[in-house]
Amino acid sequence: MKIIQTFWTGPSSSPLNNIESLDMKGGWLSSEYHWMSWSLSCLQLRKFYDDVELITDERGKEILIDILNLPYTKVSTTLEGTLSAYPKELWSLAKIFSYSSQNSPFLHLDGDVFVWHPFDEHIINAPLVSQNKEANIFYYRDMLRDMEKYFTYIHPSLKSLYPLPSTIFASNTGIFGGHDLAFIKEYCNAAFELVDKNHELPKYVHNPQFNFLFEQCLLYYMALSKERDITYVIPKIVDTPVYEDYVRFMDVPFAQMIHPVGGYKKMLFICDHLAKRLRKEYPEYYYNIINIYLHKNLPVINQVYEKATATPEIYFLNDQIFYESKDNTETIKVNNKTTIASRNGSGDFSFPRTLTALEILSNDALEFSTLLNNRTDSDLYNRLKKSAAGIATIKGKKTVLEILQLEYQISKLLENLEDPAFVQEGYLHDKKNYHEAEEVFTSDIDQILGASLRLNENAVMLDLSKKWEHDPTAEGIKFFIQKQLNEEDSLNQVMLVPNMLHLAVDEIYLDSLEMIIVNIVKDRPKEIREILIEAGEYFDSAEIKENFQNYRKLIFDTIKILLFSMILKIENKSTL
């Protein structure tokens, strides 16, 4: 069966230069991850299939083929000018156009779908295939209500839904295709008809959920009305738009597929998994993307690769960072970082949370804003510590000192990231640990249980009374600190981990099971079998005995998270 993918860069209004063309995020946190996604998706398909076609336009061909050199077996630019009458927000129309143009059985995969095994024969031979069935995802009901209220034309298969039932279904088309080409063409015509016949459409094209209505909801109910069965790649029905089971990079290579949807593409730890997975599986493509960005002076979030002119010079070649000067080699530097990376985002660093807490709790706090220029972190730390001593209440003193200690430890780790030797060693250890974490969990059970784990020696663990991480995109820092001050105290453990790709510090708050495992290994390395036994003391023994496989999976999953977050490391493994 033929595999196809579609990449539409939008209506061809004005030509873009190379830099503008590459600066497409495609829903990802940054454009570099967009191209890493396309690369990993294509390369995994080519690993299993000899017929993988790209349907795109001229600009798409230039990026994916001419610049990224992705190994599609056939490239068609039939999308060039074909959809010029439609706004770029209706991106599903490009996929539907690709479906309709097929004259032989096919499977279409989105550019953010990554497969780790070839499809089973029952999928390859099915008349109709879809990724999974959806039930009661909230936006379908909202869009169907709007459709009834505003649209001048409604396809009969959707019109029969009114009044709306208690459960609304759809067929996710992250993967779509099959052998029933007659129905597929009829469905595609119906989708274009639904768009073309509604003059009220401009009210909805800026809402991406409208694509799901005419692509996925229409597919399900049209197949139902025509008595066509749909075979699902993932049989389990999804009833939440979160799709959390589809982003388990930590389960590779046992995961059937990975498909980050919606907000997952903007989560740094998902983007890091994508980048590290491409780096591990296809390093030449990964480093090609990095080097393209460097040569074109495009910014990269993985700042360890940034170009610089500072000394001492550090050089990047293949997958090594080293010191010797080499001609014609891309230079990079370790920047003086002023940001803190976390699971929730990043924000400016200059002891902001401590200063804000002092502003709230001390009448004299505002004077310290003058210290932010021409000072060292140690100077500011000592002044802030002295100021905290003047707060009237004991609780207020403890609170400010706690926040100060948190931010000071971050500042010390950021200082380490200014040291080229520290970064070089940390980068290579990070790469090695990612490989070894997968190696352990793809071994037999005895080898898994015998693997020894330890804490990352470069990480810092703190016990806090509150979770002090602040997402600057969510709310003002003063509002956030005031809200936290009003919360009840509780035990919170945070791990501060140097991030060697971003040259930043990950501020990771542990859940209860993560805390248990971290504390089990904090004094000395422990084998996973020991962790299973010691962690079991926090569970009901009868429940463990009755559901041991589930208990073991829970512990294994938590260990994987800690390993891939660089909180834990593999002990006594040879360099890969």
Q: What is the pLDDT of residue 23?
A: 87
CA 33 to chain centre: 9
Domain 2-262 class, CATH top level: alpha beta
Q: What is the pLDDT of residue 567?
A: 97
Helix (H, G, I), strand (E, B) or coil at 145: helix
Q: What is the dihedral of CA 147, 150, 156, 157, to 10 degrees?
A: 0
As given in the structure block, the two tokens for residue 229 are: 């069965």
Q: What is the pLDDT of residue 181?
A: 98
Alpha helix stretches (DSSP H) within 444-508: 445-450, 477-485
> Burial level of 192, CB count in 10 A (0-12/13-18/19+)?
middle
Q: Where are the domains of the chain?
A: 2-262, 342-571
Low-confidence stretches of the chain (pLDDT < 70) are 12-20, 307-349, 363-377, 473, 572-576
Comparing CA positions, the residue from 306, 295, 294 lying closest to residue 417 is 306
Strands, sheet with 339-342, edge to edge from the N-terminal-most edge strand: 345-348, 339-342, 504-509, 492-499, 460-464
Q: How many angstroms separate the CA atoms of 391 and 305, rounded? A: 44
Cis check: omega of the bond before 253, within 30 degrees of 0: yes
Q: What is the pLDDT of residue 18?
A: 57
- The DSSP secondary-structure symbol of 310 reads -
Q: How many angstroms separate the CA atoms of 92 and 110, rounded? A: 10
Q: How many angstroms separate the CA atoms of 404 and 381, rounded? A: 7
Can you give the pTM of this predicted structure? 0.87
